Amino acid sequence: MKKYALFLGLLLGLLAPAWSLIPTVDPGMTSGGQVRKFTNREFKPSASPVPLTKIHDLTESQKQMADRAESMMKRNAALAVVLIDRGRIVYEGYRVPANERSFQFSQSMSKSLTAYAIGSMLCEGKITSLDDRAVKYAPELQGTVYGDATVHNLLTMSSGTREAVMAGSQYVDEFVDLRGHRISIIDLLNKFSKQDVAPGRFFRYSSTDTFSLTLVADGAGGLLENFEKNIWNRAGTEASGYWLLDMNGKAMSSAGFSATARDWARLAMFSIQELKAGNDCMKKYMREATSKQLSNLSGRVGKAFSGYGYQTWTNSIFGSGYWWVGYGGQRVGIDPETERIIVVSSWREDYMEEVYRLFADFQRIR
């Protein structure tokens, strides 16, 4: 018995390093805990939510996709999965502690929402040009790599800052310290303020570029205010949304938004609407935001994608469309051509290839 215990201990010791490399998050924190336990800005639901009805007479192809989604949920660390076909639900499933009312945390999917808020401010004239240096709108960035970068550089993660050490963070406890109000966003940006390469040359996935966009937007009228007015209120949500705040009340734009799975789907539907039927300025901006601006050459992050738009992943190796991607298995895949969407919330992301393949096949059904 002792020999067996010793063998088991050695085996677990060998497996532990491999397990630790899999991005993993707390299920309870992902399904509402970030809202209950920390400081957030609340966005009220729409008075007229966009309907999201379930399709009861699924085609054979849709039924196959729904069955695959159900099987994927049962075998993996999924908390919520929703499949949308032209504004109607093909499949919707949840696992405790998640349910249709729980606020699923974005992780880095909030980066994409930040970019679209910046677009709305550009099209309203609050930001004059994406070629403006960020310091024009955020004088507190003077003398930093982020202030010298253009708004376009920040949107495309090419400010010239150093490589992040983990999942876009400049140090391991970055998110925890910001959320816990031990440091502020401006403290973080000043701490990692030096230029490493020339702006605009290379895509380097870093949360500090996104946080710099918070300051740019706040200097041009307010990130949270413009997100609420131009995106949240127009997306026709049915429940509240929440955005984590730092110690100074600044939006944690890099990883901080929470919404129900259905409202994540509505936000995705709204992004398609802006891409296809927005005003000319917003249509142009969204075309750029959701298509490759820089190549993902590093291989350290976003391995399923060869391109990056404006805080949005593009050029999936599995299929077309664009993706919002968050640590630990948070995903929203969007195909504007077929108007099909997948929403996935997870507590571990060791099954993302199955997610990508499911969505690729979902895109192709007739």
Domains of the chain: 41-364 (3.40.710.10)
> 340-346 and 78-85: which strand pairing?
antiparallel
Regarding predicted confidence, which is higher, 298 or 9?
298
- What three-state secondary structure class fits 66? helix
Q: Is residue 7 scored above 60 in pLDDT?
A: no
Average pLDDT, the chain: 94
Provide the pLDDT for residue 9. 37
The mean pLDDT of 325-342, rounded to a whole number, is: 98
CA torsion, points 184, 256, 305, 23, in degrees to nearest 10? 90
Q: Whole-model pTM?
A: 0.94
The mean pLDDT of 239-246, rounded to a whole number, is: 98
The mean pLDDT of 175-184, rounded to a whole number, is: 98
Q: Could you check whether the bond before residue 199 is cis, i.e. omega within 30 degrees of 0?
A: no
Provide the pLDDT for residue 298. 75
CA 305/CA 291 separation, integer angstroms: 11
The mean pLDDT of 99-116, rounded to a whole number, is: 98
The residue with tokens 């805080």 is 311
